[in-house]
A and B are shown apart, each in its own frame.
Chain A
Amino acid sequence: MAVLAMRDALNQALREEMKRDEAVFLLGEDIGLYDGSFKVTRGLMKEFGEKRVVDTPIAEELIIGTAIGAAMSGLRPVAEMMTVNFIMVAMDQVVNAAAHIRYMFGGGTKVPLVIRTPGGGGHQLGAQHSHSHENWFAHVPGLKVVAPGNPADAKGMLKSAIRDDNPVMFIENEGTYAVKGEVPDGEHLVPLDKNEVKRAGEHITICAHSRMLIVAMDAATELEKEGISAEIVDMRALRPLDMAPVIESVKKTSRLITVEEGWRSYGVGSEIASRVYEEAFDYLDAPVARIGAAEVPAPYNKRLEKIAFPGKADVIVTARALLGKN
């Protein structure tokens, strides 16, 4: 067992998979010589060469399109969108091409492609650099979407994603690259379709993913001090959406909070809540409480930004209220 930062866990995953399969190659902006803007791809061009670690021009549509064509032609590309904010320029390739090609061509081909991209805000980067779009991708049949929240899951899921024959949106987070965690030694694979309880509890269920998982865990620690035991389900698998551990938890606690870094309306929480209403309607004591970013373009000012994005305090207050203690 080693303790690794998220970025290093991801780096390891890429390295191992590139060693394992000649067909795996990387492409993205500044991932090679520059070692990647978040250093996830550090040292890989040096080790594997220019053919397998491609520094592309600034051309998102081209990056994704090329990755798609290469995937259809026998390779297993891992494309990087430097941040999820830049992916919008390439949405046509992601949705209209990558997600649809297998189906609309009658199953005649497949697109084994991974698109890695960090989202999230809270670093005073302004409105155009603070988005979270996993809900957009999770809406689209043909894509798989995952959002790991700790280094072990990050490594295991990236390896699984690379080995998967479908286009996988691999959602990272700018705010968690430095977060450290234990990562098992040896070949460590995590399935792309299983969510799990990361913290057992009795009184209330909290669904969170990516950076918000860490926020939720922190909140739970605080809540424990006042006698509120929170069960946290890590929603790392968003499409397909594994609801089994959530339903099981809600049947026990009857109360649910969802937390995401994206805007609240039409967010991940909306889907989780809807499925809970479908599967556990009669177990609920109250409507599902959804926490998401305030519905404003992210402000630059430090304090405004802090109150706009969900934090530990938001989860704590909501949990208390849901339990009738506010």
Chain B
Amino acid sequence: MATVQMPRLSDSMETGKILRWLKKEGEEVVKGEPLVEIESDKANIEVEAYASGKLSKIVVPEGESAPIGAVIAEIGGDGETAAKSDKPATGQGQAEAAEPKQGSKAASAEAPKPQATKPEAHVAQADKAVATTAQVAADAGGEQYPHGGPDDRTEVGAAAQAALNVIRRPSTQEDGERQRVSPVARRLAEEQGVDLRRVQGTGPSGRITKEDVEAAAHQKPPSAPTAAPTSATPAREARQTTPRPTGEVEVVELTKLQSTVAMRLAQSKFSAPHFYVTSEIAMDDAVRLRQMFNEAVDKSEAISLNDLVVKAVALALTKFPEVNASWADGRIERKRDINIGIAVGLPDRLIVPVLRNADQKSLRDIARESKQLIERARSNKAAAQDYLGNTFSISNLGMYDVDQFTAIINPPDSGILAIGSIEDKPVVKDGQVVPGKRMRVTLSVDHRVFYGVTAAQFLQEVKRLLQSPMALVL
């Protein structure tokens, strides 16, 4: 008995529809005669019979579809069940389709024919060939990925080989070769102050990647105490580093972050010639404004004094673009955006999250955002973006009863404003001695970028804004 399979009628065809059987069940068929009309993806095609005999069974009727290789009819069978092969396909060999002699002899009177073609054999054959090739490839060390569909290879082809060879180059560095760092990682490391020598590369060829630098930038300490807002006095936290007594000296190992910060601060101090300008600001109106503001809003939206300072500094910077600048390789780069770094100090950590475009944000926005930034920084949930792009920074030790102090510039800034405590002290007003609230601020300046007069004028502007704080609300 011979089976009739759904033929492949075009190179893109996957299934075909039976349009019309040109012979009826039970009719005699001669090899070469048109047997069935099939609709392929491109056209309607008349398909001939490849065997002679009685059309014993039509398996797929008119109007129905079947995939290539599926049995659609039987020739010379008993018409009972669907064809089953009595001999499975061996290796890559294929059982031959029965080929009855030409002429009108009934198929059943013939001598035993070669095994009937297994119904799905052709498709199975193709799969098997693919599987065999895959096995060969696997044996030869070729790679596999799951068989996804009729067009998928199960082996990684030659097309990707050249690219893979490059990616998988061994991690060992050659003599004289620089450390392998991706360009974006290098830039990030510089911005973040990450020491690349201490970073483990996990990228292709052992290269240090962006992710590696980000991970190094905010190392998670073993136990982080609950964060407190900057303005409140934080409880003294336990050191997370364990001192190891070694004789007379207690050695404290630095965390990655600590050593990074140390390096950056040293760099800043030693490369930028700092000079300092101090000013005392009357904060009465600012304090009062803040009070009124906070009475009117929800506790979660309360603004801090720091927020007022941030806004004042940001607005002042719009008038003094030369202060919102950086020293870069012998040139001064003035930054378009005004991004204020807010130093968040904890006993073991110093981090400076950045509030971007502070000049364009309302006090409310600044309050909300700085809360979020500081919270994230304290709880170690900060994203890399939080630390990028500062153009000027503020450090506030006012909550620690500090008169004044000088801060070290946070690179790549050219200035940092150190904020002291607000003190009630006797001041002269209209010839009278009255109590007043005074706050001392000290501006540290990179003398290469701008000079005394600018520094003084800039500070004057900050003072003016804080002393007429309604301007900050606009």
Contact = CB atoms under 8 A, between A and B. Distances in A.
Contacts of A283: 177-178
Contacts of A226: none
B448 to A, nearest CB: 20
Q: Which of the listed residues A278, A279, A281, A283 has the most CB atoms from chain B within 10 Å of its own CB?
A: A281
By secondary structure, the A interface counts as: helix
B166 A251 contact: no
A282 interface: yes
B166 A282 contact: no
Interface string A155-193: 000000000000000000000000000000000000000
A278 B181 contact: no
A317 to B, nearest CB: 21
Contacts of A251: 176-177
A281 B166 CA distance: 11
B207 interface: yes
Nearest to B166: A278
Contacts of B180: 281-282
Nearest to A277: B166
A283 B178 CA distance: 7
Contacts of A279: 166
A282 B181 contact: yes
By secondary structure, the B interface counts as: loop
Size band of the interface chain A makes with B = under 10
Nearest to A287: B183
A316 to B, nearest CB: 23
Interface string B64-89: 00000000000000000000000000
A251 B166 CA distance: 17
A278 B207 CA distance: 13
A9 B166 CA distance: 40
Nearest to B186: A282
Contacts, number: 13
Contacts of B166: 278-279
A281 B169 CA distance: 12
Contacts of B181: 282
Interface in A276-297: 278-279, 281-283
Nearest to A278: B166
A278 B162 CA distance: 10
A94 B178 CA distance: 44
Interface in A253-311: 278-279, 281-283
Contacts of B207: 282
A278 B178 CA distance: 15
Contacts of A278: 166
A281 B207 CA distance: 10
Contacts of B177: 251, 282-283
A106 to B, nearest CB: 18
B235 to A, nearest CB: 47
A146 to B, nearest CB: 22
Contacts of A281: 180
A155 B164 CA distance: 39
A40 to B, nearest CB: 37
Nearest to A274: B166
A189 to B, nearest CB: 30
A279 B176 CA distance: 15
A72 B207 CA distance: 50
B172 to A, nearest CB: 13
Contacts of B178: 282-283
A251 B177 CA distance: 8
A281 B203 CA distance: 13
Q: Which of the listed residues B178, B180, B207 has the most CB atoms from chain A within 10 Å of its own CB?
A: B178
Nearest to A275: B166
Q: Which of the listed residues A278, A282, A283 has the most CB atoms from chain B within 10 Å of its own CB?
A: A282
A278 B179 CA distance: 16
A283 to B, nearest CB: 7
B197 to A, nearest CB: 15
Interface in B136-179: 166, 176-179
A279 B174 CA distance: 12
A87 B178 CA distance: 46
A239 B306 CA distance: 66
Interface in B434-448: none
Interface in B169-225: 176-181, 207
A279 B180 CA distance: 12
Interface in A233-259: 251
A278 B168 CA distance: 11
B268 to A, nearest CB: 24
B166 to A, nearest CB: 4
A281 B177 CA distance: 11
A251 B207 CA distance: 17
A278 B166 CA distance: 6
Instruction: Report the 10 A-B pairs with minimum CB-CB distance, sorted nearest first.
Output: A278-B166, A282-B180, A282-B178, A282-B177, A283-B178, A283-B177, A282-B181, A282-B207, A251-B176, A282-B179
5 contacts: A251-B176, A281-B180, A282-B179, A282-B207, A283-B177
Given A278-B166, A282-B178, A282-B181, 6 more contacts: A251-B176, A251-B177, A282-B177, A282-B180, A283-B177, A283-B178
